[in-house]
Structure 1
Amino acid sequence: MTNNKNKQMKKTYLTILTTAFLAISCSSDKGNGSDIDATANIVGAWEATELRVDENTASDNAIFAREALAYLTDQNCTIITLQFNADLTASATNSTDYLEIDTTSGFDIPCPTTFETETSTYTYENNVVSFVNVNGEVVEVNVTINGDTMLVDAEDLQIPEFDEEGQLVFQRR
Structure 2
Amino acid sequence: MKKIFVLLTVVALTFSCSNDGDDNGNEGPNSANPLVGTWVLTDLRIDMGVNNDDLDFAQQIIAFLQGIDCDLITFTFNEDGTVTSENKANFLSINAGAGGLDIPCPTESETENSVWSLEGNQLTFINENMEEETITVTFEGDNTLIIAGADIDAENFAGADAVFTRE
- What interval of TM-score do these two structures reach, taking the shorter chain for normalisation? 0.7 to 0.9
Per-residue Cα deviation, 1:33-68 (whole angstroms, up to 9, x for no partner): xxxxx9611000000000001253131111110111
Q: Mark the CA change 1:151 to 1:42 in structure 2 (over 3 Å): closer, same or farther.
A: same
> Is the strand fraction higher in 1 or 2?
2
1:4 aligns with none
Spell out structure 1 runs of 4+ moving beyond 4 A: none
Contact 2:15 2:114 in 1 (8 A): no
Contact 2:45 2:161 in 1 (8 A): yes
Letter in 1 for 2:142: G
In structure 2, C-alpha distance between the alignment counterparts of 1:167 and 1:157, rounded to whole Å: 9
Q: Does 1:126 align with 2:120?
A: yes
Contact 1:48 1:168 in 2 (8 A): yes
Question: Structure 2 length as normaliser, TM-score?
Answer: 0.83
In structure 2, C-alpha distance between the alignment counterparts of 1:58 and 1:129, rounded to whole Å: 29
Moved more, 12-21 or 49-58: 49-58
2:104 aligns with 110
Residue of structure 1 aligned with 2:10, choices 13, 16, 19: 19
Structure 1: gaps (5+ residues): 1-8, 27-37
Structure 2: gaps (5+ residues): 18-30
1:70 aligns with 63
Which aligned pairs between 1:42-81 and structure 2 lie closer than 5 A? 42-81=35-74
SS at match of 1:161: helix
Question: Structure 1 length as normaliser, TM-score?
Answer: 0.80
